[in-house]
Amino acid sequence: MVERLDRTIAMGKNVDLLCCGVFEMENGRIKAWRDHFEMAT
């Protein structure tokens, strides 16, 4: 599980999105990857 700040450009403006990612691991590899973005920010 990781919390992070994703930076992108939307409609010509810089946007910072707070994000939480959850990784399911199997045999040392990522089996599933889920992200949740806090769109209110």
* pLDDT at residue 11 tops 90: yes
- For residues 33 and 23, the answer to whether their CB atoms sit within 8 Å is yes
How many angstroms separate the CA atoms of 33 and 20, rounded? 11
Provide the pLDDT for residue 13.
95
pLDDT of residue 40: 75
Could you tell me the residue range of the domain that residue 29 belongs to? 2-37
d(CA 6, CA 3): 10
Per-residue model confidence as pLDDT tens digits over 20-41: 999 999 999 999 999 998 777 6
**Cα 19 from chain centroid (whole Å):** 4
What's the pLDDT at 41?
66
Domain total in the chain = 1
